[in-house]
Structure 1
């Protein structure tokens, strides 16, 4: 039997099999100073196996025994460890520079590979208007095959999970602790529904790890990493949702915030995200699927009186734009050798249709699909 080669996520080099690496990782987590920045840097340079070889045999044997017990516990509890670089690890999350080496999942792991993952986040102290906005957001996505990702916190998160289950939308719960329970306890039944109805819990934390003030901000990067876009429904200023939004921007995800008029004073965070151009403004629920290019028939519409040549030039506007490097408006006009007013109108049409994104400084990129 040929042993399957495996890329060690800590070094990027071929290194044994996945199960062996997982046991090494579980062993390392039992040892002192493993999570220190200096230690992790060394592990990335030499690999887990080499780092573990530097410990006294008696200390290593004790840690290995605890690792075996924890691995067996994970099996008994139905928890699947997903290893970076290995089949099953979410491909969007793998793009992150700080993606966790191991992501634990409980429930339907296939939910992590479903189409159109969208993060829906907001305050724990949701207003009645904010809760209504969650329902409106789902109305705007009606008829689409998509996946809702959130953090299982009180308020907007819980409302989004509950709405997803009621409308048979696949849902992913990102937890800020081990998968032994759901925090807060008031959401225990909701968490059980997620698993029972085809969803999944995920966490980078080992079984038994309790929540803390440090694990919640770290959890937010998992939400941002798993999705194509993040929607901030209702957030104060400051608020944890702002962390998720800024992380999503750093990871080159699209960020949307519902119009502050929806929830008035409770949406100071939304206003800040829009003001600082972290988030794109959503005036109405149906704007989201159009902006993401998810709604069927979302394309540049030929206006009355436009000829075929004019339509071809409109498509050329989009084709000339780079998806990653924003081009100034003047450069787009120069490349097309067209009337600036006409180019401006076509760029606006394309932006409303979700094909083009406008950036500060009157610069434009093509939407990545």
Structure 2
């Protein structure tokens, strides 16, 4: 494959992030705009030297990044640097965006007019299991792209609900797209792709799952979405990373408001806390969910983060999950 077919900006960012101590923030400070194809390597090396980075190591990293991206493209996986056309606009506007985004499947879901993240614990209650799937299906039927992380539990059920409604789903991965983790969800990943969805990661091929990467990818889940729906979480559950990112990114936030019989469960305590602290809109039934979905369409990501208490004065419009 000709080198010219690869974005030089992507190569530059990928190369910089191969250097010890250089992460996405530092790379984006050096590559602060599109890099012209002519003299690209010399330009980036000059900037890197001024940033006190080793020239020899960068030149080696450049060649390795070039080869990796050519192999990535040959495998059918697309990639977009922060400065490339096609990089998701929602993600471009978060405080800590990926420098390079890798996508397997149909990229159109990343640019859909309405996106909702459905997240929660890996071990939901029976009520949470039903609500995760039903909520995602309802949102997909309303035209929302459903974003989640392909993990066990609420993520899996959110993706399944999306597919139940023949919706488009986006799975944000914490590793390279040459693998699917957990392996038990390989079939689910294939079904998402077959139904017009995609798998997304900020990690190049060959990168294996690391504990810290799962928290890192949570900012991408909320970043790709207009709003986040938390099904179930403990106060200290991993889902709270996504909650924190959604607040930092000024996304609308909602969580399931459980019936009393489930409120003794630790995995609902995070929901109760978010509602009590007015971080999130409580969703107690299908009517409240529909009201929240309509609100998302009116309020795109902005400074608006104040939760709204659902009003439902007509018992005929209320529907249980």
Same fold by TM (over 0.5)? Answer: yes
Q: Which residue is equivalent to 2:17?
A: 29
Aligned length: 291
- Equivalent positions of 1:85-124 (< 5 A) are 85-124=83-122
Judged with a 3 Å threshold, the aligned counterparts in structure 2 of structure 1 residues 42 and 96 are, in CA distance, closer, same or farther, namely: closer
Q: Which runs of 5+ in 2 are unaligned?
A: 34-42, 313-321
For 1:241 and 1:208, the matched residues in 2 are separated by: 26
For 1:351 and 1:136, the matched residues in 2 are separated by: 19
Judged with a 3 Å threshold, the aligned counterparts in structure 2 of structure 1 residues 252 and 68 are, in CA distance, closer, same or farther, namely: same
Q: If the length of structure 2 is used for normalisation, what is the TM-score?
A: 0.80
Q: Which residue is equivalent to 2:166?
A: 168
Judged with a 3 Å threshold, the aligned counterparts in structure 2 of structure 1 residues 139 and 194 are, in CA distance, closer, same or farther, namely: closer
> Shift of residue 107 of structure 1?
0.4
Judged with a 3 Å threshold, the aligned counterparts in structure 2 of structure 1 residues 224 and 138 are, in CA distance, closer, same or farther, namely: closer
| 2:270 is equivalent to residue 249 of structure 1 | no
Contact 1:152–1:187 (8 Å) recurs in 2: yes
Judged with a 3 Å threshold, the aligned counterparts in structure 2 of structure 1 residues 48 and 258 are, in CA distance, closer, same or farther, namely: farther
Q: Which residue is equivalent to 1:51?
A: 47
Judged with a 3 Å threshold, the aligned counterparts in structure 2 of structure 1 residues 139 and 225 are, in CA distance, closer, same or farther, namely: closer
Question: Which string of whole-angstrom CA distances, capped at 9 and with x for unpartnered residues, describes residues 223-280 of structure 1?
Answer: 1111111000111221111111121112111100101327431311111111222111
> Shift of residue 27 of structure 1?
2.0
**115-124 or 260-269, which deviates more:** 260-269
Q: Which runs of 5+ in 1 are unaligned?
A: 1-16, 299-322, 328-347, 354-369
Q: Which has the higher contact order (CA 8 A, sep 6+)?
A: 2
Question: Which string of whole-angstrom CA distances, capped at 9 and with x for unpartnered residues, describes residues 99-130 of structure 1?
Answer: 11211111001111113100000100122221
Q: If the length of structure 1 is used for normalisation, what is the TM-score?
A: 0.71
- Equivalent positions of 1:1-369 (< 5 A) are 19-35=7-23, 39-40=26-27, 43=30, 48-53=44-49, 58-138=56-136, 140-141=138-139, 143-261=141-259, 263-264=262-263, 265=265, 266-293=267-294, 324=303, 352=311
Partner SS state of residue 214, structure 1: helix
Judged with a 3 Å threshold, the aligned counterparts in structure 2 of structure 1 residues 142 and 88 are, in CA distance, closer, same or farther, namely: closer
Contact 1:90–1:113 (8 Å) recurs in 2: yes
> Shift of residue 40 of structure 1?
4.8
Judged with a 3 Å threshold, the aligned counterparts in structure 2 of structure 1 residues 270 and 20 are, in CA distance, closer, same or farther, namely: same
For 1:251 and 1:36, the matched residues in 2 are separated by: 18
What is the RMSD computed on CA atoms of the aligned residues? 3.1
Contact 2:115–2:145 (8 Å) recurs in 1: yes
Partner SS state of residue 286, structure 1: helix
> Shift of residue 175 of structure 1?
0.6
Partner SS state of residue 141, structure 1: helix
Larger radius of gyration: 1
**279-288 or 144-153, which deviates more:** 279-288
For 1:111 and 1:194, the matched residues in 2 are separated by: 11
For 1:142 and 1:276, the matched residues in 2 are separated by: 29
Contact 1:119–1:224 (8 Å) recurs in 2: yes
Judged with a 3 Å threshold, the aligned counterparts in structure 2 of structure 1 residues 204 and 68 are, in CA distance, closer, same or farther, namely: same
Judged with a 3 Å threshold, the aligned counterparts in structure 2 of structure 1 residues 36 and 108 are, in CA distance, closer, same or farther, namely: closer
Partner SS state of residue 64, structure 1: helix
> Shift of residue 351 of structure 1?
6.8
